Chains A and B, each alone.
Chain A
């Protein structure tokens, strides 16, 4: 994997943090001509000092406005060759940051938004977010005899963004670094709004051994829980990883303490939903989405 090393050692993220692996791969792909922005979260607190590029941060709600302002300011000064990167968590993207994301996407601002999705508000101790999957335990969705973890499914974030008809939407995984880096290298050359939704397993919040970060990421892709795809030119859909056969979801879920309470019936429900979704994705693979 080529690309200059930008992220330095010595961050304060947990042992085995997915965000740390993602940051290194992503900034290798962006290169030095990059400005990145922050909203509150683990990336800002534990990692941002180890990314020696120009950066600035704002309140949770302000991420979309911040990148929009920067890119328009640069354009006004005739600077066209900088990557303006939003590097936010799922809270800063899917929940609190959603209105700003939608505004920037609708205006097709020339920015690159990466959502580092660890599926909860991890910096504040792991509260559920709109990106937390169904049944997952978080500190605000404990499992007990009356509750089974989170009650509802996670938002379908890439399709929400795609519905804005933007330059690029993709999903990626840190277990598939060449797919991830390839997507950034391709999309950073496009003008307009680029969105990459990267799963970022969190050993602390999901409850797995720090040595298993890549293993968990890989198993979720191989089982279809985290499909890899991209949507180009507004609505051109393509799966970028198509195993002939999906692995059962049990292996990926079994490694994570947040799913330890699952009954067979609940695991089966997750399995059938994943199967159904995968079938739909195969049907639209290589086709234009209907909008």
Chain B
């Protein structure tokens, strides 16, 4: 029996990924379960889901506390969520990250696989929905499920073009995944975030061009997170609380705000 935990953020499709993986296993005549962890997951908020694959008489129906694999759909989540919690000593992490495994800092010598799933999703789907790309990485890194089964599960989920571009995402990620050993450190330094920070909800961050900003305050009026302050008649964004919705970009009348991909900051 293998047990898998998936971490993502509302909107990236972690629950769908767990279903696709369970379906792919089922297509290989295995017994499988997809277990979403229901709470009040809002778009952008951290989400957890689980998959169990095994033989019929060994299946249990509990949550998974000591997974063999941890799959992380978001590139920033590992800075704020304890993704290695309960992971078996010989377990493996499959991470959406634009850096190679050797640059991932961990306390224990887990095997690590990385793939730039956000980049691949943007190229193939045009949207940062990483659930299908990360499955390509899972297949390549673990060999637990066949690539063809995952592709078949994807095609059953989405017909037509949507299915095709998602298959492309799976294949591209399969090609691009790297497996290796992480950098072992004594302490993983997380982001120092204030209480209630929503920084890890973003895929994109709005960046203000102070030259262009006319100080009209429209972004300040409409920001749902109240995280814009006007300083000397210029818009200043508090990135601890910005959820990256993009309303300020849409509403700025002079185009002074631009969305930049979070991973461009250099992880």
A residues touching B (Cβ–Cβ < 8 Å)? Answer: 1, 5, 7-18, 20-21, 24, 45-46, 123, 174, 177, 203-204, 209-215
Cα distance, A16 to B221, chains bound together (Å): 13
Q: Do B245 and A15 have beta carbons less than 8 Å apart?
A: yes
Given known pairs A15-B244, A46-B42, A211-B250, the reply for A9 and B238 (CB within 8 Å) is yes
B residues touching A (Cβ–Cβ < 8 Å)? Answer: 10-11, 40, 42-45, 195-198, 201, 217, 221-227, 238, 240-241, 243-247, 249-251
Q: Do B43 and A204 have beta carbons less than 8 Å apart?
A: yes
A-B contact count (CB 8 A): 88
Cα distance, A10 to B229, chains bound together (Å): 15
Q: Which of A8, A12, A209, A215 has the most CB of B within 10 A?
A: A12
CB-defined contacts of B40 to chain A, threshold 8 Å: 12, 45-46, 123
CB-defined contacts of A177 to chain B, threshold 8 Å: 221-222
Q: Do A16 and B245 have beta carbons less than 8 Å apart?
A: yes
Cα distance, A8 to B240, chains bound together (Å): 13
Question: How far, in Å, is A210 (CB) from chain B's closest CB?
Answer: 4
CB-defined contacts of A215 to chain B, threshold 8 Å: 250-251
Q: Do B226 and A24 have beta carbons less than 8 Å apart?
A: yes
Question: How far, in Å, is B217 (CB) from chain A's closest CB?
Answer: 8
Q: Do A13 and B241 have beta carbons less than 8 Å apart?
A: no
Residue from B10, B197, B217, B223 within 8 A of A10 (CB atoms): B197
Q: Do B247 and A211 have beta carbons less than 8 Å apart?
A: yes
Given known pairs A15-B44, A45-B40, A46-B42, the reply for A20 and B224 (CB within 8 Å) is yes
List, sorted by A's number, 29 A–B pairs whose CB atoms are closer than 8 Å: A8-B226, A9-B227, A11-B225, A12-B40, A12-B42, A14-B10, A14-B44, A14-B45, A15-B11, A15-B42, A15-B201, A16-B43, A16-B224, A16-B243, A16-B245, A17-B42, A21-B223, A21-B224, A24-B224, A45-B40, A174-B222, A204-B43, A210-B44, A210-B247, A211-B245, A211-B247, A211-B250, A214-B222, A214-B251
